[in-house]
Amino acid sequence: MALLQISEPGMSTAPHQHRFAAGIDLGTTNSLIATVRSGVAETLPDEHGEHLLPSVVHYNAEGGVVVGQKARMKASQDPQNTLASVKRLMGRGKEDLTLLAGHLPYTFAETDSSVPRIKTVAGEVTAIEASAKILSVLKRRAEETLGGELSGVVITVPAYFDEAQREATRDAAKLADLNVYRLINEPTAAAIAYGLDKKAEGIIAVYDLGGGTFDISILRLSKGVFEVLATGGNSALGGDDFDHAIAQWLLEQAELEQTHDPSILRQALMVARDAKEALSQQAAVDVQLGEWQGRLDNTVYRQLIEPLVKKTLMACRRALRDAELDKDQVVDIVMVGGSTRVPLVREQVAAFFEKEPLVDIDPDRVVAIGAAQQADVLAGNKPDEEMLLLDVIPLSLGLEMMGGLVEKVIARNTTIPITRAQEFTTFKDGQTALSIHVLQGERETVEHNRSLGKFVLRGIPPMVAGAARIKVTFQVDADGLLSVYAEETTTGTRASIEIKPSYGLTDSEIETMLKDSIAHAGDDMALRSLREQQVEADRSLQALDAAMQSDGEQLLNESERKQLLAARDKLARERENQNDSEALKAAIKVLEKAAEFYVERRMNRSVRDAMAGHRVDEF
């Protein structure tokens, strides 16, 4: 009798067939793709043996597109049509362009779209489309090397990428026809590269200093489980700043610091970059800028970049504080990013953590290698190996409350994926709809946080204020993407929103928000207390007004009415003029005391009405 081979829908008919999967480090300056072959994760080179693909895309008048080194060579001659560092534009909105204008030599189109479109001779393009070109080249490289189609990829993103930036990365992958298993943080991928091979458990710090950004992540490894305890960094600090520091020194030595000649400035940066790389291997290097010639030694170089390195260590200290750890609890430090090759960086990091950092894996490739290992597991090529990766959200998520206050539903550095619900209620009698305003940030009031989106829950049964029960659920998936659901529990009325804002956080915005939350903590708490008392005052005033309109004439004589109205007017004046929460709280108590007899009469009347026509023994 013949046997049929049966497989699950969508699965291979050959259950032991190896699926081709890859990890992609989609970088600001360079990108890489890696895969696991014969049990070893390795980055894949192009036909010239180059592993790093410059993240540069050039468009020409014929509609052709060039990606990589050839595109980079055209950047100086044709900057308007050569897109570099487009990662900085991923998930950004048009309002962010004013902050980036000084760093980007592009012309942006005037369109109704909230996504910035760059003018090129080949037409208008977005950062998502340019990133898709880079991903397509990497995909083709992998499939030609492996001899088959990729079943899926893991793409890495900076730890500070928010929902919009992550969604933009996924969109770029869709355009490149890539199946994305998962997005993971770059520092986390580096931890995978080291942790799976070398550690069973312990606390690891991942120090990631790239060309344009710095990230620090504190992770706990335990029996194959990776948990990110805290993240931090500076999205506007990297190796490029080392180049600029050296270039500025060169301009000063050559007495050209006042020049605005782009060719001289470009030459200064090129000389600076070459000098930086040479000084990683030798004590001094000869340099030339224009007609000036000189010598740059390691002593001067260290003085130039030491303030920048110290900024990274300040971020490390904050991340440890967020994780509630001492630096002596850190077992290993993983170094990521080409800028960690600088001897001073390694020395300062070793001195700060009081142990030598891990540099076994090429810091340029370690992120892609870790992503490849994760992709290999997610593709099902290691069914016996269990690995769970837990990331965290970088900023707290919450809702707007009455008085412009923010109620945090999910706190910063909470492990994801996460689902968390909280119950809210209505403020006014007969309220049949509720506006849900989702916010991100650490401050106590709406105006100091970032708006992520709004939606309205309708169909709430009319009830007295505070009687409705509205359950709001926040759900953050493994990629850091947020969905919010609101449900009125008595009727099941439901509304929801997927947070996919059309713009991302500006450079260093997250760091600024965190700093502000610390610097203004005392003021914020005082403001929150005042706003809470103001809301309570409004509630008391509205409740009294509604009651007196309903039955004031029946239950109060003229003298009593005047007494209550006088207390009411006094609280209303205090509400308008008082900036002291304790004084306002005292005024609310005065009104409540004055209205006690009225509240008692209303309660007695309600009881009599409820008892009318009934005997006591019926109850």
Structure confidence by residue, pLDDT tens digits, 178-230: 999 888 888 788 888 886 445 667 888 999 998 777 888 888 877 666 677 88
Given a cut of 50, whether residue 503 has pLDDT beyond it is no
Residue range 280-329, pLDDT digits in tens: 888 899 988 888 888 999 899 999 999 999 999 999 999 999 889 999 99
- Report percent pLDDT > 70 for the chain: 81
Residue range 46-68, pLDDT digits in tens: 999 999 999 999 998 877 899 99
How high is the pLDDT of residue 277? 87
Given a cut of 60, whether residue 538 has pLDDT beyond it is yes
Confidence of residue 441 (pLDDT cuts 50, 70, 90): confident
Confidence of residue 31 (pLDDT cuts 50, 70, 90): very high
Whether the CB-CB separation of 500 and 167 falls below 8 Å is answered with yes
Same fold for the pair 239-304 and 393-506: no
How high is the pLDDT of residue 390? 57
Average pLDDT over residues 427-435: 79
Q: Rounded to whole angstroms, how far apart are CA atoms 445 and 187? A: 32
pTM above 0.75, yes or no: no
How high is the pLDDT of residue 363? 92
Given a cut of 60, whether residue 484 has pLDDT beyond it is yes
How high is the pLDDT of residue 501? 39
Given a cut of 70, whether residue 410 has pLDDT beyond it is yes
Given a cut of 70, whether residue 8 has pLDDT beyond it is no
Order of strands, sheet of 418-424, starting from the edge strand that comes earlier in the sequence:
418-424, 470-476, 482-488, 493-499
Which residue pairs, CB below 8 angstroms and at least 24 apart, start in 538-542?
A: 538/402, 538/575, 539/427, 539/465, 540/571, 540/588, 540/591, 540/592, 541/568, 541/571, 541/572, 541/575, 542/428, 542/465
How high is the pLDDT of residue 25? 96
Round the average pLDDT of the chain to a whole number and report it. Answer: 80
How high is the pLDDT of residue 406? 83
Given a cut of 80, whether residue 98 has pLDDT beyond it is no
CATH topology of domain 17-178: Nucleotidyltransferase; domain 5 (3.30.420)
Structure-block tokens of residue 210: 């790239």
Whether the CB-CB separation of 93 and 117 falls below 8 Å is answered with no
Average pLDDT over residues 461-486: 81
CATH number of 393-506: 2.60.34.10
Alpha carbon dihedral 33, 36, 41, 42, in 10-degree steps, equals: -50
Catalytically active residues, by annotation: 25, 87, 186, 208
What type of residue sits at position 292?
Answer: W
3.20.20.10, 3.40.710.10, 3.90.640.10, 3.40.228.10: CATH of 239-304? 3.90.640.10
More confident site: 461 or 96: 461
How high is the pLDDT of residue 225? 64
More confident site: 69 or 467: 69
Q: Rounded to whole angstroms, how far apart are CA atoms 516 and 98? A: 22
Whether the CB-CB separation of 374 and 387 falls below 8 Å is answered with yes
Q: Rounded to whole angstroms, how far apart are CA atoms 596 and 601? A: 9
Average pLDDT over residues 415-433: 80
41: left (phi over 0), alpha (psi -120 to 50) or beta: beta
How high is the pLDDT of residue 155? 95
Structure-block tokens of residue 194: 């080291």
- Per DSSP, the chain holds a count of helices (H) and strands (E) of 15, 27
- Among candidate residues 216, 227, 111, 69, the one with its CA nearest the CA of residue 511: 216
Domain ranges of the chain: 17-178, 239-304, 393-506, 522-611
Given a cut of 80, whether residue 523 has pLDDT beyond it is no
Whether the CB-CB separation of 550 and 501 falls below 8 Å is answered with no
Residue range 598-617, pLDDT digits in tens: 777 777 776 676 666 655 55
CATH architecture of the domain formed by 522-611: Up-down Bundle (1.20)
C-alpha distances out from residue 231 to 149, 168, 197, 286, 413, Å: 35, 21, 23, 39, 7
Q: Tell me which of 113-117, 274-278, 350-354 is least confident.
A: 113-117
Confidence of residue 428 (pLDDT cuts 50, 70, 90): confident
More confident site: 521 or 128: 128
Whether the CB-CB separation of 423 and 409 falls below 8 Å is answered with no
- Report percent pLDDT > 90 for the chain: 23
Residue range 128-179, pLDDT digits in tens: 999 999 999 999 999 999 988 999 999 998 876 777 788 889 889 989 999 9
How high is the pLDDT of residue 163? 72
